[in-house]
């Protein structure tokens, strides 16, 4: 047989945004009955279908791995000739416009390793349907623009599955024969199939309530294994805070009588916003001081908020098709970021969010998988739950909020929710609501939805001493990305301020200028001497700024800028300049960096949490992003050397901070958290200085800590060194937490991220550890995703890191294609490295792509990465 033809005909189809067609049949009502059993679950579905428009096309019901046991229409069983199957889809010709279609299938949750559809996790049975998992449960038009009312009956063994949960409100429950019982849930809100959810299991409940702004009482439940109950308090607080915040900030009230959250151990993503029944990866629910770090607490708060906010931005107003994913995700990430900023320090939150954006999204935008926030095509939609759709999507909403201002932005969102409640809509509908409600023209701004790539904005200030005028010459370029060679100039809000270097005063406050042309100039007058430019303040636009700023100006901004993000950024730029200079072969000029750090830690007016961010060196990966060709070894050596010099030069200061930041007794107060964070930074510099007692000090912190933040910080520091305390701490940590899956994940992850010369061999050995398994996504990611993010280790010159991750992808693909596919992008960065490394990475991608029976998830990522 001609292999080329085989491959071509086997290639999964590409779905294109421009091919969207409205559904031909609607399903206003669906009744589901489940006889639950991990080995064989019977699913009966009763669909009320209505023809949409006038056409004579058959009803097509998506199915994935389903075999119909029975099909009937209007109560009459269909015989074989009345329906057919085509590539999993059940096709039924229907004579009239309104019918009742019933199907029956059997599924096997216990063997569902993909964790899509109905699957078993621990002793639970649970579902994940976004984006296309519902078709693995029953035959249905599994697309987000088909909205139905769900009536769900669950039957299960009462001893094994005493709790039965689904979307909406509980209507009935009761006992059945043979030790089984049943529950019926009805969701009054029409919803797409991706928001369907159901959980059965032996769960304990943290029960609470919330009274909404109109005075309705909502019963809240967080469902977990009994022994995890004491770890649910923080998630419950986050939920109540989120409910109150959404009322205050967006006027959005919760709409059902119950809201449930369930924690499951095996989950492909973070959590899922199913209507009234959010299902969570347990790592975003469970926390106590002994097992969770402060960043874990923050992540729980923001993921709980994110899923809750989806109730309006996602559930009440949903997406027309999956190309519109950013409609709900970009907006909801923006909402959860704003919430977290309001709950803690807005400055630090912004710094953290930008760090994530630059680490994940800028890399994506600069590589072979770059796509606009509203993609044009996909092979497998699961591959588009990306930093671009989520985080850049949020930045795009943030820019609209900036351009409109708070009041008009709120008018825009009010209009959006009012106009589209109960509908499945597009990104264009969102922008239109902003335009109509906020009275603004966003024509050019829309390019943010269609053009991929991170814009580069070059800013050249020139000062004319004679006229006392400053001219800012700005230029934007948007790099070519796959399928988009030529770009149009975008509408970029440039937020800036000008400082008098003598007085430290800001000239005429802060301005937002809309850069709309490829090149623009603007002039400001009245300067006795050249002012210092503070640019892209608050990181108002998701762009790369190329500004000519002297070390002196950066040092000034690092000490005086009143925009905390820009102050942080100036410090980062100083550090980057020093490091790149040394990587390029020059001397390591650490003086300006050390001075700025000294000034920052001495500034009593600064929040310690901000200080901790500002004095940390940029990551090795971020330094790599600043280079034409990433040199992981040179970066590692230079960063290590600078860290040592900072450690040595400020030894006294770090020791003082480390001592001062010790606290008696655990607290989650802002002060205590900031102290823990800064203490970790100080410890890192002390150990980096090669002080003889460094490892002992770290071990002492590790050993005495009454919280995971300090214990894990010390462990991570030790793990990157070669001291005797390293092995001791790793063993003690493992012994202390063996059996606690989330903490054992940290044990794997800390080692995978460690900057130890033998990290590749260590990760290889960990892959054989009895606690390691590919079938739990958290565990698989803790080892391999963490390792692939360890620039120095993953890119080790012998190519072992690449091979190991490729092996993991190939093995994991057989179990869980979604999770496997998420490990591919690091290999897709092959053009960013030297020829030797590039060739090895490429060879691994080719090996992956040539693997027989590859999922379309991994196939799409691997082939696109090679292109």
Burial 621-660 (b: 16+ CB within 10 A, else e): bbbbbbbeebbbebbbebbbebbbbbbbbbeebbbebbee
Which of the choices Zn ion, ligand 0A1, none does residue 385 contact, using the CB cut-off of 5 to 8 A by kind?
ligand 0A1
What residue 380 binds from ligand 0A1, Zn ion, none (CB within 5 to 8 A, per partner kind)? none
Partner touching 709 among Zn ion, ligand 0A1, none, CB below 5 to 8 Å by kind? none
SS3 state of residue 496: strand
383 versus 795: smaller Cβ distance to ligand 0A1? 383
3-state helix vs strand vs coil in the chain, percent to 5: 45, 20, 30
Q: Does 863 contact ligand 0A1 by CB under 6 A?
A: no
Q: Is 645 helix (H, G, I), strand (E, B) or coil?
A: helix
Select 131 or 632, whichever has its Cβ closest to Zn ion: 131
What 3-state DSSP class applies to 48? strand
Q: Binding string, 818-837, against ligand 0A1, x = CB under 6 A?
A: x-------------------
In this complex, which beta carbon is closest to Zn ion, that of residue 329 or of residue 395? Answer: 329
Selected range binding ligand 0A1 among 266-274, 369-377, 426-434, 726-734, rule: CB under 6 A: 266-274
| Cβ at position 246, least distance to ligand 0A1 in Å | 16
Token digits of residue 620: 């090795």
Which range, of 262-270, 595-603, 645-653, 668-676, touches ligand 0A1 by CB under 6 A?
262-270
Instruction: Please identify, using beta-carbon distances, which residue of 325 and 806 lies nearer to ligand 0A1.
Output: 325
Q: Which does 130 bind (CB under 5 to 8 A by kind): Zn ion, ligand 0A1, none?
A: ligand 0A1
- How many binding residues for Zn ion (CB under 5 A)? 2
User: Smallest distance, Å, CB 449 to Zn ion?
Assistant: 18
Residue of 34, 139, 254, 269 interacting with ligand 0A1 (CB under 6 A): 269
Cβ-in-10-Å burial (0-12, 13-18, 19+) of 571 comes to: buried
DSSP string over 431-492: HHHHHHHHT---TGGGHHHH--S--EEEEEEEEETTTTEEEEEEEEE---BTTB-S-PPP-E
Residue 504's nearest CA partner among 564, 553, 560 is 560
Residue 128 touches ligand 0A1, criterion: CB under 6 A:
yes
Residue 291 binds which of Zn ion, ligand 0A1, none (CB < 5-8 A, kind-dependent): none
Could you tell me which residues are beta bridge partners of residue 86? 89
Asked if 717 contacts 687 with a C-beta cutoff of 8 angstroms, the reply is yes
Of 34 and 308, nearer to Zn ion (C-beta) is: 308
User: 3-state DSSP call for residue 374?
Assistant: coil
Q: Closer to ligand 0A1 at the Cβ: 146 or 713?
A: 146
Integer Cα distance of 287 and 301 in angstroms: 11
Residue 496 contact partner, candidates Zn ion, ligand 0A1, none, CB within 5 to 8 A by sort of partner? none
Among 189, 385, 448, 830, binds ligand 0A1 (CB under 6 A): 385
Known active-site residue 844: no
- What are residue 201's DSSP bridge partners? 163
Catalytic residue among 102, 273, 301, 307: 307
Q: Tell the smallest beta-carbon distance from residue 319 to Zn ion (Å).
A: 11
CB of 306 to Zn ion, least distance (A): 5
| Footprint on residues 802-821 left by ligand 0A1 (CB under 6 A) | 818
Q: Judged by CB, which is closer to ligand 0A1: 71, or 389?
A: 389
Q: Which is nearer to ligand 0A1, 280 or 565 (CB)?
A: 280
Rounded Cα gap, residues 158 and 179, in angstroms: 6
- Regarding 273 and contact with ligand 0A1 (CB under 6 A), the answer is yes
Contact characters 309-348, Zn ion, x per CB under 5 A: --------------------x--x----------------
Instruction: Measure Cα distances from 96 to 49, 51, 56, 738 in Å.
Output: 10, 8, 9, 62
Residue indicated by tokens 């040092």: 555
Place of tokens 């059940």: 90
Q: How far is the CB of 402 from ligand 0A1 (least distance, A)?
A: 23
Q: Residue 155: enclosing H or E segment and its boundaries?
A: strand 148-157
| Residues of span 300-329 touching ligand 0A1 by CB under 6 A | 306-307, 329
Report d(CA 703, CA 711) in Å as an integer. 7
**Residue 389's binding partner out of Zn ion, ligand 0A1, none, with CB under 5 to 8 Å set by partner kind:** none
Touching Zn ion, residues 28-57 (CB under 5 A):
none
Q: Are 194 and 129 in contact (CB under 8 A)?
A: yes
Of 279, 401, 292, 294, the residue nearest 338 (C-alpha): 401
Q: Are 781 and 809 in contact (CB under 8 A)?
A: no
- Contact flag: residue 235 with ligand 0A1 (CB under 6 A): no
List contacts with Zn ion (CB under 5 A). Answer: 329, 332
List contacts with ligand 0A1 (CB under 6 A). Answer: 116, 128, 130, 268-273, 306-307, 329, 385, 818
Q: Which positions are annotated as active-site residues?
A: 307
């Amino acid at each position: 047989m001609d292999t080329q033809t085989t491959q071509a005909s086997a290639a999964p189809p590409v779905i294109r945004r421009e091919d969207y067609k409205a559904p031909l049949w609607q399903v206003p009502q669906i009744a589901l009955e489940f006889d639950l059993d991990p080995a064989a679950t019977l699913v009966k579905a009763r669909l009320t279908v209505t023809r949409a428009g006038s056409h004579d096309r058959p009803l097509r019901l998506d199915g994935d791995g389903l075999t119909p046991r029975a099909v009937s229409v209007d109560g009459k069983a269909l015989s074989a000739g009345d329906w057919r199957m085509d590539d999993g889809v059940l096709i039924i010709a229907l004579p009239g416009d309104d019918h009742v279609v019933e199907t029956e299938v059997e599924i096997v949750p216990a063997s569902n390793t993909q964790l899509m559809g109905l699957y078993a996790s621990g002793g639970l049975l649970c579902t994940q349907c976004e984006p296309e998992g519902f078709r693995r449960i029953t035959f249905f038009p599994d697309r987000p623009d088909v909205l139905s009312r769900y009536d769900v009956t669950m039957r299960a063994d009462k001893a094994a599955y005493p709790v039965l949960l689904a979307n909406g409100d509980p209507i009935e429950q009761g006992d059945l024969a043979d030790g089984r019982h049943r529950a019926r849930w009805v969701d009054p809100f029409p919803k797409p199939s991706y928001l369907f959810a159901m959980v059965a299991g032996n769960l304990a409940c943290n029960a609470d309530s919330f009274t909404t702004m109109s005075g309705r009482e909502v019963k809240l439940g967080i469902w977990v294994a009994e022994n995890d109950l004491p770890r649910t308090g923080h998630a419950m607080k986050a939920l109540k805070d989120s409910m109150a915040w959404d009322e205050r900030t967006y006027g959005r009230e919760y709409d059902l009588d119950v809201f449930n959250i369930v924690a499951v151990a095996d989950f492909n993503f973070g959590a899922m916003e199913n209507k009234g029944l959010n299902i969570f990866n347990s790592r975003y629910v469970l926390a106590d001081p002994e097992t969770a770090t402060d960043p874990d607490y923050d992540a729980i708060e923001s993921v709980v908020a994110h899923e809750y906010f989806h109730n309006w931005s996602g559930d009440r107003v949903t997406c027309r098709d999956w190309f519109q994913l950013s409609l709900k995700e970009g907006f909801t990430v923006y909402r959860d970021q704003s919430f977290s900023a309001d709950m803690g320090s807005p400055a630090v939150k912004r710094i953290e969010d930008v760090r994530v954006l630059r680490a994940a999204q800028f890399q994506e935008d600069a590589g072979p998988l770059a796509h606009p926030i509203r993609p044009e095509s996909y092979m497998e939609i699961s591959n588009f739950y990306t930093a671009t759709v989520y985080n850049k999507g949020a930045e795009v909403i943030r820019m609209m909020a900036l351009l409109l201002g708070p009041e008009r932005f709120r008018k825009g969102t009010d209009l959006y929710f009012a106009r589209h409640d109960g509908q499945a809509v597009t990104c264009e509908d969102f922008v239109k609501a902003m335009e109509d409600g906020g009275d603004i023209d966003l024509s050019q701004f829309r390019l943010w939805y269609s053009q991929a790539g991170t814009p580069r904005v070059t800013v050249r200030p020139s000062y004319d001493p004679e006229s006392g005028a400053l001219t800012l010459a700005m230029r934007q370029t948007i790099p070519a990305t796959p399928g988009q060679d030529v770009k149009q100039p975008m509408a970029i809000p440039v937020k800036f301020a000008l400082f008098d270097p003598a007085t430290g005063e800001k000239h005429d406050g802060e301005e937002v200028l809309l850069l709309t042309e490829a090149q623009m100039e603007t002039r400001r007058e009245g300067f006795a001497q050249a002012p210092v430019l503070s640019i892209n303040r608050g990181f108002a636009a998701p762009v790369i700024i190329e500004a000519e700023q002297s070390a002196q100006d950066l040092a000034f901004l690092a000490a005086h800028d009143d925009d905390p993000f820009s102050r942080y950024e100036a410090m980062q730029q100083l550090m980057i300049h020093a490091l790149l200079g040394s990587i390029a072969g020059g001397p390591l000029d650490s003086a300006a960096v050390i001075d700025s750090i000294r000034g920052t830690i001495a500034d009593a007016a600064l929040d310690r949490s901000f200080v901790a961010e500002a004095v940390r060196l940029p990551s090795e990966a971020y330094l790599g992003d600043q280079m034409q060709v990433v040199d992981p070894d040179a970066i590692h050596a230079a960063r290590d050397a600078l860290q040592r010099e900072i450690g040595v030069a400020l030894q006294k200061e770090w020791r003082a901070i480390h001592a001062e930041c010790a606290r008696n007794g655990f607290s989650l107060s802002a002060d205590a958290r900031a102290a823990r964070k800064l203490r970790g930074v100080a410890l890192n510099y002390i150990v980096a200085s090669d002080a003889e007692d460094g490892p002992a000090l770290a071990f002492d912190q590790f050993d005495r800590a009454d919280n995971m933040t300090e214990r894990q910080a010390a462990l991570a520091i030790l793990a990157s060194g070669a001291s005797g305390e390293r092995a001791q701490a790793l063993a003690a940590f493992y012994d202390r937490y063996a059996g606690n899956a989330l903490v054992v994940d940290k044990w794997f992850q800390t080692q995978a991220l460690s900057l130890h010369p033998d990290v590749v061999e260590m990760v290889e050995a960990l892959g054989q550890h009895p606690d390691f398994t590919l079938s739990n996504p958290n565990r698989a990611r803790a080892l391999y995703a963490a390792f692939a993010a360890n620039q120095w280790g993953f890119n080790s010159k012998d190519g072992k890191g690449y091979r190991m991750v490729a092996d993991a992808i190939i093995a994991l693909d057989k179990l869980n294609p979604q999770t496997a596919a998420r490990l591919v992008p690091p290999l897709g960065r092959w053009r960013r490295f030297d020829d030797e490394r590039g060739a090895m990475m490429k060879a691994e991608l080719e090996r992956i792509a040539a693997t027989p029976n590859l999922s379309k998830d991994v196939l799409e990522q691997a082939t696109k990465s090679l292109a």
